[in-house]
Amino acid sequence: MRIMRSYVYRIYPTRNQKSKFDSLYRKNTFLFNELLKEKKRKLENNEDEAIFIKSFIKQFDELKHGNFVTYLSTYHLVNQIMDKFHNKSIKEFPSLKNVDKMTKKIHFDIVNMSYLDVKGPILQIPKIGSFKARIHRPMPPYSIIRQVIIEKRNVNFYLVNFLVSFPITPPKSTIKTAVGLDYSSPHFFHSSDNELGDVFKVSGLENKRIKKLKRRMSKCVFKSKNYMKLRQNVEKAYFSIENKRKFLLNKASNYCLNKYDLVAVESLSLSDMSTRFHLGAHTYNNSYNTFLLMLKYKSLEKGKVFIKVPKYFPSTRICSNCGQVHERLKLSDRIFHCDCGFTMDRDLNAAINIKEKAITILKSTIQKMKGEKYAL
């Protein structure tokens, strides 16, 4: 079994490499915008959306002396965004990139690159270059690099992100303990054992400081010295929040998988939830989807079971005592009352239902596997 994981290192490019990065980033942003314009024109004229990238690049003098690997990666990125637009996961047509306001990233799509030369502090990447880097953790053996992303932060440092696939042999373990997790906006999660995730909550970190800095930025002239200094401080504050959030999410996922053999969660559309119930700030700050991704890949490594119950399973409206389904239940009803006389906290009742549903799903899959083996 092979799994995917990203490894991020800090690099220290030279002046020449920094200038090359800036010019290549501007070229890729220009190509991204032109590809979107061409796609929009073809959609309005009911033409085929296919674009031949080599002939398209030759039209523009601005794209000469660039890197074709990055141009191809930008083309793939545009196609992915257009697929989301056609699948209606994006409601409006994708907007154009602003060179000054967007995060500066350059994608390198590399097919099955297994060679990465690390000589002390020097990191040599084929077809990209060599950089002085801080290698704080090595990649696993027999790993294959699928994609490389070089990113420039406004705090004057650069990061390189490797998307790596590598083989694992998960340990065998028996399922003795199980837990169901129900998403809770104020508490991060509510478990079936009546535990709250307040300890791992990631929202409300340095918000006052960021608001104060942005208030000062609004009074400065755009791109002035004071504006750029304040922008760097805002970026540093966001970066520290990002690191704290990753630390807490890793801590929460490790806690759940070390304590339980089966972890069950509900399938949620957090983007719809944030727009419908006026919980956008809390929903995005909690980063619950990232937490679920961590649970998924860590459960494979540790030999644990991670189950997502179906999206339309009414975990909130089912009574965990008698099984009756209540059709009308408002978001403001925080205590669950059933006709059988059962009363419980709404989130705790949902977490218990998620746990029971996951156990039935696991039993049915085990029976199917036994039936297939018997038939063979």
Provide the pLDDT for residue 279.
Answer: 67
Residues 73 and 160 in one domain: yes
User: Per-residue pLDDT for 28 more than 80?
Assistant: yes
Residues 276 and 141 in one domain: no
Residues 133 and 209 in one domain: no
Residue finishing a domain among 142, 167, 192: 167
Counting Cβ atoms within 10 Å, is residue 373 exposed (0-12), middle (13-18) or buried (19+)? exposed
Provide the pLDDT for residue 38.
Answer: 92
Residues 121 and 208 in one domain: no
Provide the pLDDT for residue 235.
Answer: 84
Residue-wise pLDDT for 176-195, tens only, equals: 889 999 888 888 888 888 88
Quick check: is 314 in a domain?
yes
Residues 214 and 102 in one domain: no
Residue finishing a domain among 113, 141, 167: 167
Residues 141, 152: Cα–Cα separation, whole Å: 28
Strand pairing of 104-113 and 144-153?
antiparallel
Residue-wise pLDDT for 232-279, tens only, equals: 888 888 888 888 888 999 999 999 999 999 999 988 776 666 666 666
Provide the pLDDT for residue 170.
Answer: 76
Cβ–Cβ under 8 Å, residues 164 and 173: no
Q: What is the pTM of this model?
A: 0.79
Q: And the tokens for 361?
A: 């799903």
Q: How distant is the alpha carbon of residue 283 from its chain centre?
A: 14
Number of folded domains in the chain? 2
Cβ–Cβ under 8 Å, residues 105 and 151: yes
Residues 287 and 200 in one domain: yes
Q: Please report how many Cα atoms fall inside a 13 Å half-sphere around the Cα of residue 163, on the Cβ side.
A: 12
199: phi > 0 → left, psi -120 to 50 → alpha, else beta; which? Answer: alpha
Residues 154 and 7 in one domain: yes
Residue from 357, 360, 332 nearest 346 by CA: 332
Residues 208 and 163 in one domain: no
Quick check: is 172 in a domain?
no
Residue-wise pLDDT for 69-108, tens only, equals: 899 999 999 999 999 888 887 888 888 888 776 778 898 8
Residues 93 and 184 in one domain: no
Residues 184 and 332 in one domain: yes
Quick check: is 173 in a domain?
no
Could you give the C-alpha distances from 286 to 5, 191, 203, 247, 291, in angstroms and in order?
A: 21, 16, 6, 13, 9
168: phi > 0 → left, psi -120 to 50 → alpha, else beta; which? Answer: beta
Cβ–Cβ under 8 Å, residues 351 and 191: yes
Quick check: is 197 in a domain?
yes
What percent of the chain is predicted at pLDDT more than 90? Answer: 23
Query: 238 vs 116, which has greater pLDDT?
Result: 238
Residues 190 and 273 in one domain: yes
Lowest mean pLDDT, pick from 173-177, 278-282, 326-330: 278-282
Residue finishing a domain among 136, 167, 198: 167
3-state secondary structure of 114: coil
Q: Which domain, by its residues, includes 252? A: 178-375
Residues 42, 372: Cα–Cα separation, whole Å: 49
3-state secondary structure of 195: coil
Residues 82 and 151 in one domain: yes
Quick check: is 139 in a domain?
yes
